[in-house]
Amino acid sequence: MTEDTIKRRARGLDRAFDILDFLKEIGQPLRPNDIANGIGSPKSTVYELVASLLERRILEPVGKDGHVYLGRQLYFLGQAHLRHFDLSREADHALQEIVSQTRETAQMCLLNGRKYTVALMKEGERHFRISSDIGENAPIPWTASGRLLLAHLSDQQIIDLIDEDDYILPDGERLPLDRFLAEIRQAGSDGFFSFDSVADTFTHCFAAPVKDPQGVAICTLCIVAPRADAKNNYNDYRRVLIESANSLARRINE
C-alpha cells in the first residue's frame, strides 16, 4: 500500500467520523446532501461514505426519502466496549451509591474533544427529577466539572483548547478568562468544585475528579441538586462525592 493510498484512506476515515459526529450532534435523520453541507465535505464523497456505512450497518436508512441515521451496529459496538471498560462499569456502581446516600441525581462526566459531555447518569430518588441528555456536548466553561478536567493543563493549553464563543454563558454574559483560569487552579488544588448552574436557575452542581495514577482527572463524578437542598446538605454532599470519586479511582487504578 502506497503512502498516498494510506493518506487517502485516513482522510476518508476522518470524514466518516465527521458524518457520525454530525448526526449525533443534530440528533435526527438527514439526507446525505444535508450532511455534506453540514460538515463541509464534497457531496460525492459523502454519498460514497454513507453507502459504505449503510452496508456495514453503521448507518441505517430512515423512511423513504433517503434519510439516514446512526445504526444499531453502533449500539452493539458500544455494548462490547462497556463489557470491557472498567471505568463505565465501576462508575455505574459509584453513581448508584451516590444516589442511595443523597437521593440526588448523580453523573459521570468527561471531556469530548473541546467540549464537555455527560457520559452516565442516575436520576435522583425524588418526585422532582433532574436529568441531562447523555452524550450531548456542552461548552466546558459552563460546567463545574470542566474546572477539574482542565486542571492538569497549562494556562496556554487551556486558552488553545477552548473556543472563544464558549466563554459566552447562557445569559449572554462573557466569563472572564482570568476568572476561569483562577477557578481551574483553585479546583485543582481543592480536588472539588461546585457552583450554581449557569444553564438554569434552580440547580447547584457539585463535581469531584477521578484521577489516574499520574494525578490527571480522567472523568468527574457529579451531583446535581436543587439549590435549596444543596445549601442545606452542602457538607454531606461534598463528602459523599469526594469519597465516591476517590474510591472509584482506587478501583480502576488497581
Report d(CA 70, CA 21) in Å as an integer. Answer: 10
Report d(CA 138, CA 39) in Å as an integer. Answer: 19
Whether residue 163 is found in the same domain as residue 210: yes
Whether residue 247 is found in the same domain as residue 173: yes
Whether residue 188 is found in the same domain as residue 109: yes
Q: Is the pLDDT of residue 157 over 60?
A: yes
C-alpha grid cell, residue 157: 493549553
C-alpha grid cell, residue 22: 454530525
Whether residue 55 is found in the same domain as residue 93: no
Enclosing domain of residue 108:
85-252
Least trusted range by pLDDT, from 85-94, 123-132, 204-213: 123-132
Whether residue 129 is found in the same domain as residue 228: yes
What's the rounded mean pLDDT across residues 8-24?
84
Report d(CA 108, CA 119) in Å as an integer. Answer: 6
Coil/strand/helix, residue 34 = helix
Whether residue 215 is found in the same domain as residue 142: yes
168, 185, 200, 221, 250 from 87: Cα distances, Å = 32, 25, 29, 12, 11
The separation between CA 111 and the C-alpha centre of its own chain, rounded to angstroms, equals 5
Whether the Cβ atoms of residue 75 and residue 89 lie closer than 8 Å to each other: no
C-alpha grid cell, residue 102: 443523597
Encode pLDDT of 87-125 as tens digits.
Answer: 778 888 999 999 999 999 999 999 988 899 999 999 887
Any domain includes 80: no
Binned at pLDDT 50, 70 and 90, residue 134 comes out as confident
Whether residue 63 is found in the same domain as residue 99: no
Give the bridge partners for 107, in sequence order: 121, 222
Whether residue 234 is found in the same domain as residue 109: yes
Whether residue 13 is found in the same domain as residue 138: no
Q: Which of 117, 162, 100 is nearest to 24 (CA)?
A: 117
Q: Is the pLDDT of residue 80 over 90?
A: no
Last residue in a domain, options 46, 75, 104: 75
Last residue in a domain, options 75, 109, 124: 75
Whether the Cβ atoms of residue 32 and residue 43 lie closer than 8 Å to each other: yes
Last residue in a domain, options 29, 44, 75: 75
